[in-house]
Amino acid sequence: MLKEKKQRRPTAKQELFARGIAQGMMIKEAGLAAGYSPASVNSTLYTEMQENTRLQQLIEVEKENFAAALERAGATDDVLATGLVAQMNATKMVTLPIIDEKGNKIGRKTVEVPDHAARLQAIELIMRAKGYLNEPEEPPQTESYEARIKRLRGV
């Protein structure tokens, strides 16, 4: 008969990690912010997140807590959506040189141009919120170059 694994109380790192995920951080970013080493983030955190049901439950609770805090602060779904849609039309001011017909700089002019980085970020956030984009489920490749060569050679 198989013994059931007892799930312990989450560690402080797991709680910080869950809070980071709930607040919208990527897995790697949340792991590093919680104090996990880069090696740990790359090798075990993805697996632990998939296999540890207690950690999954903790993430869900943190997401609910964060959503409730946002609502209390006035960040309703309508307010957030309005802000993101406005961000899709973001602009910025840039200063350009004024050049005469001989190629000499004779002054500067400030103009408003589209802020493509801000627009793209808003579009990405909207796509994530709608479920069109997800983080990859597989952890990044951590096999060393030498180990890969041996594996490919069948050694």
Residue 112 is predicted with a pLDDT of 97
Considering the domain architecture, whether residues 20 and 69 belong to the same structural domain is answered as yes
pLDDT value, residue 116: 94
From first to last of the 155 residues of the chain, give the pLDDT tens digit: 455 555 577 788 888 888 888 888 888 888 999 999 888 887 788 788 788 888 888 888 888 888 888 889 998 888 888 998 999 999 999 999 999 999 999 999 999 999 999 999 988 888 887 778 775 555 455 667 677 777 777 76
55: tokens are: 């950690």
| Domain presence at residue 144 | no
Print the domain residue range for 101.
76-134
Q: Are residues 21 and 48 in the same domain?
A: yes
Q: Are residues 128 and 82 in the same domain?
A: yes
Domain count, the chain: 2
**Domain contains 154:** no
- CA 139/CA 67 separation, integer angstroms: 27
CA distance 101 to 118: 35
Residue 66 lies in a domain: yes
Residues 67 and 83 in one domain: no
Domain with residue 38: its CATH number is 1.10.10
pLDDT of residue 47: 81
Q: Is residue 55 part of a domain?
A: yes
18 CB neighbour count, 10 Å cutoff: 25
- Phi, psi values for residue 112, rounded to 5°: -95, 130
pLDDT of residue 59: 87
The distance in angstroms from the start CA to the end CA of the chain is: 37
* pTM exceeds 0.85 for this model: no
Adjacent-strand bridge partners of 91: 114
